[in-house]
Amino acid sequence: MESTEFLRAIMALFLVLGLMGGLWLILKKLGLNGPVQIPTGTKKRLRIVEVLPLDPRRKAIILRRDDTEHLVILGASGETVVESGFTAPPTTDSHDA
């Protein structure tokens, strides 16, 4: 490899790294550089209740939105809502028995 080709490759590497750094600075300035943070004091409305792997490519999850739960199958080809709008079963306290 000639020294000019090596120098050209190094300069291209620095150019790409510089462009990536510039994009990072722009995203940071816009506030798009990381995960969305929920301000403290606000109640989260959405959460994952349970995850059950069905096979290596699919899993069943129960999502809770407000007080309603949804059963969803996630797979490589997409997602399928199996049941929607059911409420969580009442919790039983082991101390009552």
Q: What is the pLDDT of residues 61-79, one digit of tens each?
A: 999 888 888 999 988 888 8
For 51-60, write each residue's pLDDT tens digit. Answer: 999 988 889 9
Contacts of 64 (CB under 8 A, 6+ apart): 46, 47, 48, 49, 70, 88
One domain for residues 32 and 67: no
Does the pTM of the predicted model rise above 0.75?
A: no
For 22-45, write each residue's pLDDT tens digit. Answer: 998 888 887 776 666 666 666 778
One domain for residues 32 and 2: yes
One domain for residues 23 and 65: no
Token digits of residue 24: 């990072």
Domain around 9: 1-37
One domain for residues 28 and 50: no
One domain for residues 52 and 20: no
